């Protein structure tokens, strides 16, 4: 008994050391920096000072935090709305084409956010963008730029997150017990009704975990909002970059990062608390 407990602990050591070194220590450093005190020469020293959090507590930054959360929630919903039907139909394909599609979607993940943001910028520009196609078909008279705008930010972020959603939904949907669907149909439910009252409830845990993952992933997006959005579409992550890189204010950047972390932790906690139990 004792020796097996011991061996279990020993087995935990490598992963614990890794998690400690690469996750806990940096996080503690951010936490310490966020409450550090300024020094006379413009730097900062270890101490306890809440001024950076006080600076956050103005309507501007609170509004930015709420905007970021709202935008990420919207992206999570849109991404799932696109990915869910696609993934469901994908699971009905023969295994060979399923593999092909999954490899194709995995390959999309190798595109970086930077590449995607700049590609969308060209795609939505006046001179080389899709507006020219609209002119060509005769829908509009003169080409126009579709960026920077809220629509551009949403489009690129959804594009960025759909592959993740598909991969997160795929295991649950492919393991779905087909006899449930047959039972529902035999009992007289229409395909649509079966979809909403049987398939969706059964795969709810996957939908929720997929939504949360996309939400958290989008919270960290910097390039897309900055390149494709106007300043009013810049998220908290963009402001953190500004503070850390351009304004040289590590303590305030750290404080904003802590706020961002609290925000995502709260969302994860709320979602697991209110939706995880029934299944």
- Where does this chain bind another protein (CB under 8 A)? 41-43, 55, 58, 60, 64, 121, 125-127, 145, 148, 226-227, 230-232, 234, 239, 242-243, 245-249, 252
In the bound complex, what is the minimum distance in angstroms from residue 240's beta carbon to another protein? 12
Contacts for 24 with CB less than 8 Å, ≥ 6 apart: none
Cis peptide before 148 (omega within 30 of 0): yes
- In the numeric block, the tokens 């649509």 are attached to 192
Nearer Cβ to another protein (154/267): 154
In the bound complex, what is the minimum distance in angstroms from residue 220's beta carbon to another protein? 18
Nearer Cβ to another protein (173/256): 256
What are the structure tokens assigned to 158, written together? 């959804």
Please, are residues 227 and 124 in contact by the beta-carbon 8 Å criterion?
no
CA–CA separation, 195 vs 202, rounded Å? Answer: 10
In the bound complex, what is the minimum distance in angstroms from residue 40's beta carbon to another protein? 9
In the bound complex, what is the minimum distance in angstroms from residue 252's beta carbon to another protein? 7
Nearer Cβ to another protein (5/40): 40
Nearer Cβ to another protein (74/244): 244
Nearer Cβ to another protein (208/244): 244
Please, are residues 185 and 194 in contact by the beta-carbon 8 Å criterion?
yes
Burial of 78-87, coded b for 16+ CB within 10 Å and e otherwise, reads bbbebbbebb
In the bound complex, what is the minimum distance in angstroms from residue 21's beta carbon to another protein? 18
CA–CA separation, 28 vs 60, rounded Å? Answer: 27
Please, are residues 221 and 270 in contact by the beta-carbon 8 Å criterion?
no
Nearer Cβ to another protein (55/204): 55
In the bound complex, what is the minimum distance in angstroms from residue 110's beta carbon to another protein? 23
Helix ranges, the chain (H): 2-19, 25-34, 51-56, 59-91, 95-108, 113-123, 131-137, 150-174, 178-186, 191-194, 200-202, 204-219, 223-228, 236-241, 250-275
In the bound complex, what is the minimum distance in angstroms from residue 17's beta carbon to another protein? 23
What are the structure tokens assigned to 228, written together? 């494709």
Nearer Cβ to another protein (239/258): 239
């Amino acid at each position: 008994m004792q020796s097996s407990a011991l061996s279990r602990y020993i087995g935990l050591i490598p992963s614990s050391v890794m998690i400690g070194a690469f996750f806990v220590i940096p996080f503690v450093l951010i936490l310490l920096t966020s409450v550090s005190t300024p020094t006379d020469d413009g730097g900062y020293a270890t101490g306890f000072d809440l001024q950076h959090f006080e600076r956050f507590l103005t309507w501007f930054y609170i509004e930015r935090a709420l905007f970021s959360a709202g935008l990420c929630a919207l992206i999570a919903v849109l991404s799932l709305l696109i990915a869910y039907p696609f993934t469901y139909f994908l699971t009905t394909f023969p295994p060979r084409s399923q593999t092909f599609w999954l490899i194709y979607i995995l390959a999309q993940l190798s595109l970086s956010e930077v590449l995607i943001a700049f590609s969308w910028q060209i795609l939505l520009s006046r001179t080389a963008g899709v507006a020219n196609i609209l002119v060509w078909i005769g829908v509009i008279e003169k080409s126009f730029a579709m960026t920077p705008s809220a629509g551009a930010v949403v489009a690129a972020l959804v594009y960025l997150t759909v592959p993740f959603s598909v991969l997160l939904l795929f295991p649950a949907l492919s393991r779905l017990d087909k006899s449930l669907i047959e039972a529902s149909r035999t009992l007289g439910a229409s395909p649509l009704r079966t979809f909403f009252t049987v398939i969706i409830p059964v795969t709810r845990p996957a939908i929720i975990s997929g939504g949360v993952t996309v939400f958290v992933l989008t919270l960290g997006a910097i390039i897309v909002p900055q390149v494709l959005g106007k300043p009013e579409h810049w998220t908290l992550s963009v402001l953190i970059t500004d503070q850390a890189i351009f304004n040289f204010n590590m303590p305030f950047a750290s404080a904003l990062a802590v706020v961002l972390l609290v925000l995502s932790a709260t969302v994860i906690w709320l979602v697991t608390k209110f939706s995880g139990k029934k299944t």
